[in-house]
Amino acid sequence: MNEGKNETNGRTAEETVVSRTTLFVQHAIVNLCRLVVAVTFIVSGFVKAIDPLGTQYKIEDYAAAVGIMQPAGSLATLGLSVALSAVEFSLGVLLLFAIHRRVVSRITAVFMAIMTIITLWLWIAEPVKDCGCFGDAIHISNAQTLMKNIVLLASAVIVAWRPLQMVRFISRSNQWIVINYTVLFIVGVSIYCLYMLPLFDFRPYHIGADIKKGMEMPPGEKGPEFETTFIMEKDGERREFSLDNYPDSTWTFIDSKTVQVSEGYVPPIHDFSVVMQPDGVDVTEDLLANKDYTFLLVSPQLEKADDSNFGDIDRIYEYATGNGMNFIGLTASSDEAISRWRDITGAEYDFGITDGTTLKTMIRSNPGLFLLKEGRVIGKWSHNDLPDPASQEFKALIKNGIDNGNFDTAKKVVKVVIWFVIPLFLLTLADRLWAWSSIVRNTRKKNKLYKLLKKKKMRKKIVAGNWKMNLNLQEGVALAKELNEALTAEKPNCDVIICTPFIHLASVAQAIDQNVLALGAENCADKEKGAYTGEVSAEMVKSTGAQYVIIGHSERRSYYAETPEILKEKVLLALKNGLKVIFCIGESLEEREANKQNEVVKAELEGSVFNLSEEDFRKIIIAYEPIWAIGTGKTATSDQAEEIHAYIRSIIAEKYGKAVAEDTSILYGGSCKASNAPELFAKPDIDGGLIGGAALKAADFRGIIDAWK
Ligand code: PGA
């Protein structure tokens, strides 16, 4: 190991720091790119969605440029317009929230790649002047669009390269709400704006705009400049001339070409004019100068205009004429279309001709109503939302002639915030709070679990053998030696004890290393010493070198009538002589069937060991052995055993406190074998086993010991 380079997972400390820094930088870059792309998509999707017709016109410009179709007003291009804005907006929101990170980032990158190819073509071939990326809100040149898209494409690729580094704002379980709400919202916005008018009007004819001002050339600005070249011929020789060196009449004119040499300033409104039909009088100036109100019924294509609201239109026409105001229809359509409209709707108003694109720019409704005063836009309405001349609102508008466009804009922004931003914000907030609280809950749970595991770890894990009345001395010593050797060679993960018949104790104690394999007796007398023929006292047990003694085994309770009082004495004597006690408790089959197991074990503990001081009780190991499982091959299920072990621990806690209960080892006994030990020992309140039959063969016993591995 090099100095200053601690190896962790095959990496040096320096490498770890470097890779952490790299990861941090990567994280920051990916999330920055994600924000840039998300915000751009949201803005451009939204400004397209609020003006579906404008977006449709742009799509049709593109379609015409590549010669695919001439589909003015077609449903397909309108559908495409709504879909495009919805996809763009939704991708932006999904990226912002980091929803379905992999698939969304890939789709975004592909989307940007396609857009970049289109803008490359725009830049090279200039089929349309303005890409329409941001509707009418922001106009950028084709070169700027290309630059913008290259940056966005690079950002989208970076995000798609490491999508999982996007920080989530919402948990997976709530993502569907954001997805559905976003799609519903944006499609809803498009439909609303189609039915009414664009929510926000970025065009030069917005409410409050002064058309006259919009047509002015600011002082010092120049318009676009054009240069014409003339191709002339004389005596078979062709040459090019400009206006400055135009030759004399000996030259014959062949051809001329005019090119724009400088962009210059084009006023926002440059082709607004009204020529009345059928007399051809240009009334543009009068109309813009008129100090009274002028209503303009604007219909770019009268043949396609919606005539369903003609009643409302007539009511306004009557109001206008009744109050000495002008009412003019404006269209780019033919006389024929005008007379057809008159036939259908009974229109009595005059029509003027205006450029079709100008009319489409003026209002996104066919027809739509415009209210002008001295060239200023006072009001705009879709044919679906025409004002009622009798309403207070309309009267106030006519009275004040006020441009409330700015006020309206603020109100609309608030509406969008209330309908979209706030619900998603609240959802995110609730989601994050929930996520945070569940992290706290989990941490607490983990802590609890950790503490439990630690407690269990702190408690002694024990596998004890109870040889009962089996094996003669030689066999017993041989088994003890075999076990001792095996456990010396491979250290067990628990304490191992063998409890043998009395006569084995001294010899076995000589044969084993009790640091590896501890020794205990299966019983001891309830008397200290004296004339008790055939009995073996606790002191005698201790003198053999044994450290443990089993007391209260069910076989002794039932075959030798050992009562709780007798057992109580035995326990006291064992402890007095420095022996640790493995105290057995457990219910019979009848008691279990009568569901009395808890009562039984409680009474057994109370009868023989709950009299002890805390200090003495700490020297007791409890062995729960359901009598119906001992030597029968029937084991309590691990859940059954765990249930009663937990109960035993709880009553110890009641008696001696939680700390003592947590430190007391509670073993399970009764047909415990290598095959079922792992499942039993995995339970939090089972700390090992007291093994009868399976303790008589070294291999079987070791199998159980290995369950702790
Ligand atoms: P068993 O005996 O493992 O043979 O069922 C257990 C015991 O009596 O301690």
My answer on whether omega of the bond before 367 falls inside 30° of 0, hence cis, is yes
We find that the CATH architecture of domain 483-708 is Alpha-Beta Barrel (3.20)
Ligand 1 center–CA 424 separation, angstroms:
65
467 is an annotated ligand-binding site residue = yes
Instruction: Report, as ranges of residue numbers, the positions in the chain whose pLDDT lies below 70.
Output: 1-18, 69-73, 402-407, 445-457
* 3-class secondary structure, 548: strand
Nearest to 201 by CA among 79, 100, 338, 54: 54
Ligand 1 center–CA 701 separation, angstroms:
12
pLDDT in tens, 647-674: 999 999 999 999 999 999 999 999 999 9
436 is an annotated ligand-binding site residue = no
pLDDT in tens, 509-558: 999 999 999 999 999 999 999 999 999 999 999 999 999 999 999 999 99
Pinpoint the alpha helices (H) of 257-334. Answer: 284-289, 310-322
pLDDT in tens, 422-455: 999 999 899 889 888 888 777 776 666 665 666 5
Pick the residue whose CA is nearest to atom 3 on ligand 1: 692
553 a catalytic residue:
yes
Using DSSP bridges, classify how beta strands 225-234 and 252-262 pair: parallel, antiparallel or unpaired: antiparallel
Nearest atom in ligand 1 to 694's CA: 3
Q: Which of 569, 604, 625, 642 is catalytic?
A: 625
Ligand 1 center–CA 690 separation, angstroms:
7
- CA of 494: how far to CAs of 508, 665, 681, in Å? 20, 12, 11
What is the C-alpha separation between 370 and 171, in angstroms, rounded? 48
CB-CB contact of 612 with 652 (8 Å): no
Nearest atom in ligand 1 to 632's CA: 5
At 11 the pLDDT is: 55
- For ligand 1, mutation pick of 550, 557, 625 (most atoms within 8 Å of CB): 625
CB-CB contact of 465 with 681 (8 Å): no
- CA of 75: how far to CAs of 55, 57, 309, 663, in Å? 13, 12, 21, 79
Highest CATH level, class, for 275-401: alpha beta
Pick the residue whose CA is nearest to atom 6 on ligand 1: 692
- For ligand 1, mutation pick of 549, 691, 696 (most atoms within 8 Å of CB): 691
Pick the residue whose CA is nearest to atom 1 on ligand 1: 692
Ligand 1 center–CA 657 separation, angstroms:
30
Ligand 1 center–CA 29 separation, angstroms:
66
Question: Angle CA(122)–CA(125)–CA(131) in degrees, nearest 5?
Answer: 25
Ligand 1 center–CA 146 separation, angstroms:
84
Nearest atom in ligand 1 to 555's CA: 8
Any residues with CB less than 8 A from the CB of 684 and at least 6 apart, and which? 452, 456, 642, 646
451 is an annotated ligand-binding site residue = no
At 2 the pLDDT is: 41
- For ligand 1, mutation pick of 667, 671, 701 (most atoms within 8 Å of CB): 671
Helix (H) or strand (E) holding 233: strand 225-234
Q: What is the pTM of this model?
A: 0.59
Nearest atom in ligand 1 to 672's CA: 3
631 is an annotated ligand-binding site residue = yes
Ligand 1 center–CA 693 separation, angstroms:
6
Q: Which of 553, 591, 642, 645 is catalytic?
A: 553
- For ligand 1, mutation pick of 630, 635, 676, 700 (most atoms within 8 Å of CB): 630
Structure tokens at 464: 């004890």
693 is an annotated ligand-binding site residue = yes
What is the C-alpha separation between 548 and 466, in angstroms, rounded? 11
Tell me 19's DSSP state.
H
Domain parsing of the chain, residue ranges: 16-195, 275-401, 483-708
530 is an annotated ligand-binding site residue = no
At 4 the pLDDT is: 40
Nearest atom in ligand 1 to 584's CA: 9
- For the chain, what is the mean pLDDT? 90
466 is an annotated ligand-binding site residue = yes
Question: Angle CA(97)–CA(99)–CA(103) in degrees, nearest 5?
Answer: 135
Pocket of ligand 1 (CB under 6 A): 466, 625, 630-631, 669-672, 690-694
Nearest atom in ligand 1 to 623's CA: 9
Ligand 1 center–CA 499 separation, angstroms:
12
CB-CB contact of 224 with 260 (8 Å): yes
**Cα Rg of the chain (Å, integer):** 48
